[in-house]
Structure 1
Amino acid sequence: MTTVIEVDHLTKRYRDTLALDDVSLRIEENTIYGLLGRNGAGKTTIMSILTAQNFATSGEARVFGEQPYENARVLRRLCFVRESQRYPDDATPRHAFRTARLFFENWDQSLADSLIDDFQLPMKKTIKKLSRGQLSAVGVIIGLASRAEITFFDEPYLGLDAVARQIFYDRLLEDYAEHPRTVILSSHLIDEVSNLIERVLVIDRGRMIMDESTDAVRDRAATIVGDTAAVETFVAGREVIHRESLGRVSSVTVLGTLTSDDRAQLRAAGLDAGAVSLQQLIVRMTQHAGRDAAGDTAGDPATTEEGAFR
């Protein structure tokens, strides 16, 4: 496959805050990526740098083999949709779509019209008077109908209700199947987007901690449940990323694919092995990475941090 984005040792510092810390990655064409992580992890920063809306402190980012900043050849091939998109006070959705049609050479007006109907978007109301969900729909429609070679969605769909989000997911997959392109989808709704994405990128505290295919990630961990002594015997020597206990019963999440011998050992010990969802895995891994960064691996906190992903 062809590499369309190359990031090498990218670092971004805001005074005392290290937003990106030596990030390197490769993005391939015609693939849907999930850029996942907690609030403040660095997702928006890296997308802003790739779309020339921010500067790196050090390192290099190339899009289509070129620097994106003040590069019309690159920027006209990108679409960056973000929740905080600004529009003129008197702009209506109709104005926004007309402007987008002029900018994006692959713009599909029939797709835009269909999406406007799907989202029941009022076209004559000024954007500043739209509800949050309607404003999100404007961004989603531009992102899909632009058919840009690389489209970044920085959680512009958070204002959509569950039904509207499902419309977005369905239409994204339908149009991607007919018109493949590179899509980078930033989201806290990890389980909702897990069936969309083909490759998982996880950033935590400015560092990239996962870059794998979604299929590989699904077998990345397992949760072992049962008698505490038996569980501890089984997980000895394995990398534990989460541990909970209640009385004599423990639930321990470990990294690594379970072999047939492992499963036979579990059955003999009367232990259960449960699958770990993509969201659970990422929550556990970021918790684990955070404790390692703090130099504290003695135990797990009593509460989870899943709220940070919503």
Structure 2
Amino acid sequence: MPRPEPHVILFHSAASDPRWPDAIRRALPDFEVRTNLEGIAPEDVAAAVVWKHPPGMLAPLARLKLIQVIGAGVDHVFTDPFLPRHVPIARLVDPGLTARMSEYVLLHALALHRRMDETVRAQDERRWEFIAPAPPARTCVGILGLGHLGLACATTLRAMGFRVIGWSRTRKADLPFETYAGADGLAAFRNACDVLVLLLPLTAQTQGLVDSRFFDDLRAGAALINVGRGGLIEDDALLAALDDGRLRHAVLDVFRQEPLPADHPFWTHRRITVTPHNSSATDPDTAIEQVVENVRRAVSGERPLHLVDPSAGY
């Protein structure tokens, strides 16, 4: 007698919108949605919808057909030494997540352009310091990473009037703004930026990319927004660049350790803005259709959308 097809969807995320499990149940009524493996046979799990799952959680799922990450970044998946290598991994390209990220980057790019960091320090010191407003076209915002989120942020910034440039690992064709590519283009790119936005994935190649030598090439008075991954930046190099004036200000939404430890110097540095990794998040209202479609494709033997390349790490 043939074994029944797997009928369980495992959902695991301690940080995501708590509506996710119910949203999956409503959208996929033919499946049982579980938030843990207690009381179910591992071979009954067809798909795992996860964010930062515990190492080894997916290893027993012998008939798993899909690992669906409910976010744009997937570096945390590859930290699992027991990850089942034969299972396709898909990331989410969510219009809600994209819109929130674009809002965040625009918000802080405008604040840095209008030099709100200096205004806040002046208020703390009870100094009346007039800073003449200037048009956004005088500020060059460089986006390091031209994937889906990077291109969306570029569109939003350009609509506000900023001069936008971009860098990617390989050349991007037919974009309506100036771009740089590869190792040869990186120094010229970062030297042209007044505000640098980090939106690269975290891979073996990008780990610690923003180090002391990187800061040496920045334009005097430049500022930085990191919404990629904390591991892109060497923390000590960032602090040194802020302290010696190579960098004017840093807006940090992602960190090497999260939550950021209470004794970390980022919290109290007067030239750093800390936000608690809330630049964006997947919204079940806008992302559920993609999860449903990928589960349907996976169980039908079709290719899921937005597959990750394990060899590249994104």
Alignment TM-score, normalising by the size of structure 2: 0.29
- The structure where strand makes up a greater share of residues is 1
Alignment TM-score, normalising by the size of structure 1: 0.29
